[in-house]
Amino acid sequence: MKVLVTGAKGQLGRALQACSPVEAKIHAIDIDECDLTDAAAIKELVAEVTPEVVINAAAYTAVDNAEKDEAKAYAINAGAVAALAEAHAGKLVHVSTDFVFDGTSSRAYRPGDERNPLSAYGRTKAAGEDYQREGDILVRTSWVYTAGGANFVRTMLRLMAEKPALNVVADQIGAPTWAPRLAATIWGLIGKDASGTFHHSDAGVASWYDFAVAIQEEALELGLLNAAIPITPIPTSAYPTPARRPAFSLLDCSATRELLDDGYTHWRTNLRLMLEEEARLG
């Protein structure tokens, strides 16, 4: 099975390559090998590689920057998906986000729930979803992190080592996602020849404050931090950002877990695994 993976150097792209099945022949590319804002370049790449499956793990993820650069965010988050769908007749696996929802639900969001993005980033990701075809796979996820990546966990580790105290938003609720587990889910869906829309995040519920407290506790146990600092929960209103975030973006992953029959893993378990890897990396 020949598989084209975009976003090869990103958190998910690296995880997809690390846990790929033996039968997968991976051709992984990043922005330096193909400009994803250039539809002609994308079509040329697909024609050259002739993949059976394309996994689009590339994205414009700078949520706040997208507010002033929505055209570029759209080109990568939607335009590239359109070009891939037009150029590739086989299965396209596209990765999207909890930010396509507005956060007003009273329960975890199901795959078929109505979208209503609050930000430019969310709008461009929702637009990319609209190029999903029959037979394709759409996977929505949230709060992705992995060892060695640019993410909330590693930012918190740095700030906890540098600052005497931290304030962290406590009224945005969702669930973290460890990239290797997300990658395993994507390969599992491909292996099942699934199609449609699926949700994946780690099990459990958290605010960014909860996540930060757990990061500090686990990092102290592993020796990644020398001392604890005070972490204070604050409302979103006390930390204004250019982009609006959904207050509640928990994803209902039950249909995904039922199809793959692979159980649930709590986010704190995966956080520990990630931090153990961080400790090994030094």
Q: What is the 3-state secondary structure (H, E, C) of the chain?
A: CEEEEECCCCHHHHHHHHCCCCCCEEEEECCCCCCCCCHHHHHHHHHHHCCCEEEECCCCCCCCHHHCCHHHHHHHHHHHHHHHHHHCCCEEEEEEEHHHCCCCCCCCECCCCCCCCCCHHHHHHHHHHCCCCCCCEEEEECCEECCCCCCHHHHHHHHHHHCCCEEEECCCEECCEEHHHHHHHHHHHHHCCCCEEEECCCECCEEHHHHHHHHHHHHHHHCCCCCCCCEEEECHHHCCCCCCCCCECCECCHHHHHHHCCCCCEHHHHHHHHHHHHHHHC
- Here the tokens at position 64 are 């706040």
Active-site annotation holds for 109: no
Q: Determine which one of 74, 121, 145, 209 is catalytic.
A: 121
User: Which residues are catalytically annotated?
Assistant: 121
